[in-house]
Amino acid sequence: MSGSRSSPAALQAQWRDHVADAGLTDPRERIGRAVIGAYGGLGRRYHDRGHIAYLLGEIDRNANLISDIARLRFAAWFHDAVYVTWRKDNEARSARWAASALRSMGASDGFADRVNALIRATADHAGGGADADDDLFLDMDFSILGAPPERYDRYVRQVRLEYWWAPPWLFRPARKGFIERALARERIFLTDTYENRLGDQARENLRRELERL
């Protein structure tokens, strides 16, 4: 992801566009700065501003397939806003922040609840979401699995750095379990759009990583 597109200034400009498109009001500037700042937190190597910029780009590239683009955009903004690798409730905490922030900016309860539910669904991508938009978002978030080998290998290194505190005897079995569960599924991705485009490469990447563990 280009550094210019993932810079705080560029992301703040996108945030302003998205809240304006959704008809949201103050304290939108303060919330935007807080969310973007969260992705610049110490220790983030993959789940950082570059990841958000990429995901927002994927949403725009697939806009013709999306019914409720505002919901996916705000799910993207908030879905990894809370990210502490030794905790198990990051998605739930991110979802609560999203719902609270959206309501404070004037979003309806229904919209805030749908964003909340989609963020919570990222805790288990294989389970799918509530509708086709949700499934597409979950595939976008997981699309790194089907990246070209060099980019995938960089992602693997970045994730390992995020788990700096975990010794190999703890990290490797957990990572192996994640890979084996993914490979055991009939499909890596939920939608034909991503399975047809990235499924084979994702399986190749995952098998290669598994051999190295």
Share of the chain above pLDDT 70, in %: 99
Q: Which residue has the tokens 């939608």?
A: 191
Percent of the chain with pLDDT over 90: 93
- Model confidence at 1: pLDDT above 60: no
Output the pLDDT for position 15: 98
Is the pLDDT at 102 greater than 60? The verdict is: yes
pLDDT at 175: 98
List pLDDT tens digits, range 26-61: 889 999 999 999 999 999 999 999 999 999 999 999
Q: Phi and psi of 84, rounded to 5°?
A: -125, 110
Residue 6 CB contacts under 8 Å (≥ 6 apart), including other chains? 48, 49, 50, 52, 53, 54
| 51's tokens | 């990841």
Q: Where are the domains of the chain?
A: 8-127, 145-211
Q: Residue 148 corresponds to which tokens in the numbers above? A: 């070209």
pLDDT for 67 beyond 60? yes
The pLDDT assigned to 5 comes to: 86
Residue in this structure with the two tokens 């919330």, named with its chain if needed: 31
Question: pLDDT digit string (tens) for 113-137?
Answer: 999 999 999 998 888 899 999 999 9
Alpha-carbon distance 93 to 119, whole Å? 10
Task: Say what the pLDDT of residue 110 is.
Answer: 98
Between CA 152 and CA 50 the distance in angstroms is 15
Q: What is the pLDDT at residue 57?
A: 98
Could you tell me what percentage of the chain is helix, strand and coil, using 3-state DSSP and rounding each to the nearest 5?
70, 0, 30
pLDDT at res. 127? 85
> What whole-number distance in Å separates Cα of residue 27 and Cα of residue 25?
6
Residue pair 74/98 in contact (Cβ under 8 Å)? The answer is yes
pLDDT of residue 125: 86
pLDDT band at 4 (very low <50, low <70, confident <90, very high): confident
